[in-house]
Structures are given as structure tokens and as C-alpha cells.
Amino acid sequence: MNALRALLFDKDGTLVDFDRTWGPAAGEVIRRIAHGNAEHIAQLHEVSHYIAGEDRFLVSSPLLAGSSAEFGPLWAEVLGATPDRAFFAEIDRLFKEEGKRFITPIGSPRKALARLKDAGFTLGIASNDAEANTRLQADLLGLTDLVAGVYGYDSGHGAKPGPGMIEAFCRHAGLAPHEVALIGDTRHDLDAAKAAGANAILVRSGPAAVDPFAGEADLIIDDVDALADFLTDAQEPVAS
């Protein structure tokens, strides 16, 4: 792995516990967007690969790594809605409200990122969630003052697995891609890092296994807390 100067974190499955946050939140969003229609609710559960009785998603769910622009057309078809930006924005709004209610961190992200910043790393967040919700959850987790950039699928740089968010972060930080690592829990994160020419670090803290493609990553580690240990204890501090 190249010498790193900056770290760009995925949000869900990396900083935020996906199942504990989005499992119950999704159930409420589906109920609300279907206006309580039982048939539509059941159909939305089906196309979302969502297990309502357990408040969780199957690993095959399109919501695990995709943005509302990706899974939204499936919902629109069920509801007889137009799959346009207004519909996707409504999905994002509902997830923002319900995600705020149920947000659950993985480990101690505030402590981990503070250690990494103190070690000299420039930090950012890149999520396939909407930017407004990503910023809200970063604030709720106490991360806003630690990060130099926050990017969502709707920030104007495209969504992962495209390289746009990483490229925007590199421009903002004044760094080359090989000096940056994207830390995430899905194939989308790995592919985005590779597409941008950045380092790819996979964490095992997401809802789906990453070990089947871990050999393609530059590093695989249990979670962000373990990453902070690895980068601050096992290596020299980053040059400022």
C-alpha cells in the first residue's frame, strides 16, 4: 500500500451500523411512502429484499450499496410513481428523517477519526446516500469538525463505483490519488478506489461479506477502530 496522507470513509457499514440504523428506518420509510397500503408495502419489501419481521435486508438487497437513484425506479414501479428526481428526493427526505431516529455508530467513529486526524491524515466521507443526510449523520456522530469534505451521490460527482467523489476529494485536498485511501465495506467501494487510482481498504463491519474479493484490496481490516490502531500505532505519523 502506498504511503497515505488522506482517508476517505464510506458511511453505511463503515461508520454507521447498517442493519441497526437502516433496518428499522427502512421499515418506516416503506410504510410512509406507501401511505400504509398493505399490498404496496409487501411489494416494496419484496423488491428491496427486506425482511420486515427482522428489520433487516438480505445481502442481495439493492439498498446495501446503491443510491435512491438506483433502487428508486423499483419503488416507483410498485407505487405507480414517476421515477424522477422529485421522487428520489422524497425517498432521501424520508430516509433522512428515519435515519436520524435510528442512527447507530459502529464502534467509536469520533474517537477513531480524531486519532487519525491528530496523526496528520486529511479525512473525508464519501457515501451513496444523499449529501444532506450524510452531513446530518456526520454531525450526529460528532465527525463534522474532523472531516475536510463530505460527498453524497447527489453532490455532482457521481455515485460509487464511479471515481468522481474520490477525484473531487483529491482536488480539494491537493493530493494525488495514490496518497489517498477509500475505506468501505462493499464491492462498490473497492471498484471506486481502483477506478480513481486510490488505495482500497475494506472493513468487515458491513452487512455483506467482503472476504470473497478481499484479495483485490490493498488492506482488509475488521473496522474503523482497528484501522485507527493500525495506522497510528504501527506506522510513523504522516508528514504534514
Beta strands at 6-9 and 180-184: parallel, antiparallel or unpaired:
parallel
When the pLDDT of each residue in the chain is averaged and rounded to a whole number, the result is: 94
pLDDT tens track for 65-99: 788 999 999 999 999 999 999 999 999 999 999 99
Q: How far apart are CA 113 and CA 110, in angstroms?
A: 5
State residue 239's pLDDT score: 38
pLDDT tens track for 21-68: 999 999 999 999 999 999 999 999 999 999 999 999 998 999 987 889
57 in Cβ contact with 48 (< 8 Å): yes
* Domains of the chain and any CATH numbers: 6-17+105-233 (3.40.50.1000), 19-102 (no CATH)
State residue 233's pLDDT score: 78
Q: How far apart are CA 240 and CA 85, in angstroms?
A: 42
With cut-offs at 50, 70 and 90, classify the pLDDT of residue 221.
very high
